[in-house]
Amino acid sequence: MTQNSSSIDPRVNRLHLETDDHPTPKPALDQLETFEVFHQKKVGAAYTYVGPVHAANEEIAFLFAKEQYSRRAICSGMWVAKTQHVFLSGYADDATSIYDNLPTLSEVPNAAEQSYEIFHLKKRGKAHQHAGSVTARSPLHALYVAKEVLQTSPAVNVWVIASAHVLRQEQDQDMWATTPDKKYREAMAYRVQDKIEKFKAEQKA
Amino acid sequence: MYGGGNVFEATTFDNLAQEDPAQLAQFEARIARGEKIEPTDWMPQLYRKQLIRMIEQHAHSEIIGALPEGAWITRAPGFRRKLAQMAKVQDEVGHAQLLYSAAETLGKTREQMLTDLINGKSKYSNVFNYPAVTWADSNTISWLIDAGAIVNQLANAKGSYGPYCRALDRICAEEAFHLKYGHDAVVHLATGSPIQRSMIQAALNRWWPPIMTFFGPPDKMSTHTETLMRWKVKMATNDACRQQFLDMYVPKIWELGLTIPDPNLHKNEHGEWEYTEPDWAEFKRVINGDGPCNAERLAVRRTSEERGAWVRQALLAPKATYVKPLA
């Protein structure tokens, strides 16, 4: 290919970008803090982990999360929590349960009781799912309580988040109402094979 | 879209003798059992370094790959195509976000990765150093570069690192639209007027050589490569991916009555595709900075980073602390 002197990209032509300056390294926190995002596919389904976003605060994290994780798939609710507010258990082997190998809790802490959300990872490589909430006096204590009341099947890893640290968007479901209408984003909307068949028939004729 | 993470030369760090033998054995046994590795697990240095490199390059390829098609949003013919082109470009940028996060779980910050991108230290898929000079070029990228990327990504989604697999599962699901959208756009031109046909043929002629380099040069099979394949970091050789791509897409190009600009392209009696060897000297020259669009691609990215910095600084909470993403 030949060298193109004038760019095709309007950003290059209109902004008159310098192409030879030397960028300075990005400072720490240029990309802000991290948040973990959970979505609900339909009303009543368990909230499931979808991934992280970087943002300045919970509200902006929610906006980014909505764009990142629910612009394509159907969604009826979304939770966002700061990564640093998530307490993790260790990871067990598949087909074993981390609940059988919790760190020692020598005594129940003296702190006030509060509500914690518990998320289970059933199998390595899959996504954490909301298993329920418990009332406890610390995140580790919450693991012990969850072991009693929520452990219905093995969990290879458990996340514990104080309920007060979870930003929930459950009231404004109509923000997702038009997602299924955006057919131009769906592979199903492109009937390519019909066009090819028509073309081939015309070629033969 | 854009795989190509295994296109570039591997890391040179290969000293497994320094690793703890018991932990290494446990790690290898976990992978052999088909279990995924998660971020807090013990892992060999080579595994961590190679994955950071692959996932980071994949992320850069997504974000730079959004540029050639992004330039055609304002000129896309018709409102529906404009919407679809925008949705596709937004997906690519979203994929970069997912992949940067997956790489972060291994210990490289997003700031470090973006710095390495804009100062030219990290690579991205070489095909984006070429311009999309017509709408038909944009369509060719949407169909065939994405098709190549899907071959790559479906293979990598079966890899051993949990966060990368989760990101790829989501990416592959979204790519299904890109592939159909691109195919539809190419079919529209190929089955249209003589001018439309010649436009898509010319784009295919321009893009075929870069497409043939998309999967990278043939692998030198070394102990290093074998180790990475045993650890399910590298899932298929570059040549195997190229063969799979040719098998799936050459017939689809031919059925539209288009020609592929390689007189030597044919399937031999063993069922393998033979072709003119791509110009690897040009590939090397372009990937090292001397291509038609290298400078402007990085300039666009660098400018966005620089001009957006004050917004991020203004929003940053005084007590903010960085914690790497969990999974």
Q: Which amino acid is at B145?
A: I
Please report, to the nearest 10 degrees, the dihedral formed by the alpha carbons of residues B302, B304, B310, B314 taken in order.
-130
Q: Do A29 and B298 touch (CB under 8 A)?
A: no
pLDDT recorded at residue B138: 98
Q: Do A26 and B111 touch (CB under 8 A)?
A: yes
> pTM for the complete prediction?
0.95
Nearest CB to A9: which of B177, B296, B302? Answer: B296
Distances (CA, A) of B235 to A98, B38, B147, B176, B221: 30, 18, 17, 21, 13
Q: Do A18 and B119 touch (CB under 8 A)?
A: no
Phi/psi-derived region of residue A161, left when phi > 0, alpha when psi is between -120 and 50, beta in every other case: beta
Query: What are the structure tokens assigned to B296, written together?
Result: 């402007």
Nearest CB to A184: which of B70, B87, B326? Answer: B87
Q: How many residues does chain B have?
A: 327
Question: First and final CA of chain B: distance in angstroms?
Answer: 21
pLDDT (tens digit per residue) in B151-190:
999 999 999 999 999 999 999 999 999 999 999 999 999 9
Asked if the model's pLDDT at residue A5 lies above 70, the reply is: no
Higher local confidence (pLDDT), A3 or A62? A62
Query: What's the whole-number mean pLDDT along residues A18-47?
Result: 91
Q: Do A1 and B90 touch (CB under 8 A)?
A: no
pLDDT recorded at residue B212: 97
3 state SS of A119: strand
Q: Which residue of B has its CA nearest to A184?
A: B84
Distances (CA, A) of B258 to B244, B251, B275: 20, 10, 17
**Site of tokens 């979304």:** A78
Please report, to the nearest 10 degrees, the dihedral formed by the alpha carbons of residues A13, A17, A19, A21 taken in order.
170
Are A81 and A35 a contacting pair, CB within 8 Å?
A: yes
Is any Cβ of chain B less than 8 angstroms from the Cβ of A187? yes
* Nearest-angstrom CA–CA distance, B201 and B195: 10
Nearest CB to A23: which of B98, B118, B187? Answer: B118
Query: What are the structure tokens assigned to B308, written together?
Result: 């957006």
pLDDT recorded at residue A20: 66
* Nearest-angstrom CA–CA distance, B164 and B168: 6
pLDDT recorded at residue B11: 52
Average pLDDT, chain A: 92
Range from A4-8, A97-101, B198-202 carrying the lowest mean pLDDT: A4-8
ipTM (interface pTM): 0.94
Are B55 and B99 a contacting pair, CB within 8 Å?
A: yes
Average pLDDT, chain B: 94
pLDDT (tens digit per residue) in A102-147:
999 989 999 999 999 999 999 999 999 999 999 999 999 999 999 9
pLDDT (tens digit per residue) in A148-171:
999 777 899 999 999 999 999 877
Q: How far is A20 from chain B (nearest CA, A)?
A: 7
Is any Cβ of chain A less than 8 angstroms from the Cβ of B37? yes
Are A41 and A34 a contacting pair, CB within 8 Å?
A: no
Query: What's the whole-number mean pLDDT along residues A67-71?
Result: 95
Query: What are the structure tokens assigned to B9, written together?
Result: 């030369």
